[in-house]
Amino acid sequence: MLPQIRRKTFTANEYHRMVEAGILGEDDHLELIRGEIIHKAAIGSCHAACVDKLTQLFLTNLTGTVIFAPKESSIRISGLDDLKNKPLVSVNRGYSYGPKFDNYQGLNKDYSRDEIMQVKKLAEQHTDVAVASEEPFKFFSKRLGFADKFKVVYVLSEEPSYVAFSKAKGEKCKILAEKFGRTLSRLKKEGVIQKIEDKYFK
């Protein structure tokens, strides 16, 4: 009978602490997936071609982790110290906002199960501010009838947005990326992308 292997899973917070302690290097090509630390696959030529093409298309498209407050709020934030021991900060349970925020001490956090709950709590003034990914929070705010109720008071981070294609498709992925690129360029020129953003985020 073979011995049973027990796996240790890690939280996002534990993963970030291992990076900060130097146990894991930032250049080690690792990622945390469902609690397991996985080696990222090497980037092949097809993957690189897709990334290059999409980077050009999405160069100006950033996704941000931001702090929202009600529009009428007088809260001003120039750094995390402005949140220390003061307002009630809404966050999603189990979600990582990056090591700087996750490891910051002294925040009065209120945990929600998802962005919908965060939006409702902020709209009903059960919390003072909400930390969230900007696009989903705006989408759910609009869907719940609160599109014009909130403002961004601080940007925690901004990262480029990407679309990925499976490496398993081989040459097909290169063709797919080219078709996607042409279609996306056409949609941008025709104003369709802006209309979609206006419809779902504003």
Reported as a single tens digit per residue, the pLDDT across 40-73 is 765 555 555 555 555 444 444 556 889 999 999 9
3-state SS class at 178: helix
For residue 5, what is the DSSP state? P
* Radius of gyration, CA atoms only, the chain: 20
Model confidence at 201, pLDDT cuts 50, 70, 90, reads low
User: What is the per-residue pLDDT for 69?
Assistant: 95
Q: Would you say how long the chain is, in residues? A: 202
Q: When comparing pLDDT for 45 and 93, which is higher?
A: 93
> What residues contact residue 80 under an 8 Å CB cut-off, 6+ apart?
100, 101, 104, 107
Locate the domains of the chain by residue range: 7-41, 43-60+184-202, 62-159
Pick the CATH number of 62-159 from 3.40.50.300, 3.40.190.10, 3.40.50.450, 1.20.1260.10: 3.40.190.10
3-state SS class at 128: coil
3-state SS class at 53: helix
Write the pLDDT tens digit of every residue in 98-139.
888 889 998 999 999 988 999 999 999 999 999 998 888 988
Sole residue written with tokens 């996750």? 102
